[in-house]
Amino acid sequence: MATLLLFGPARSAAGLGRVQLEARTVSELCDAARSQFGEEFTKVLAVSALWLNGEPVEGDPSVAAGDEVAVVPPVSGGS
């Protein structure tokens, strides 16, 4: 199982900060999370960056037991 790490609005929409899900790829992991957490989470995921084991996700890489996929919603800020 891979671990999905959730931050900010993704965490709020899911109601938790991490969950382990069965998946072979990042897209399967996201599909499982959409099914589990619903419409509000799906909206947040659509505008979020995904990171696999500390690196930005490119394409649809495979995931394995022990992998961590972080959902990082956009942030705003400035001075």
Question: Tens digit of pLDDT for each residue in 38-77?
Answer: 999 999 999 999 999 999 999 999 999 999 999 998 876 5
**Half-sphere exposure of residue 74, counting CA atoms within 13 Å on the CB side?**
5
Architecture in CATH of 2-72: Roll (3.10)
pTM: 0.91
Which phi and psi angles does 2 have, rounded to 5°? Answer: -95, 155
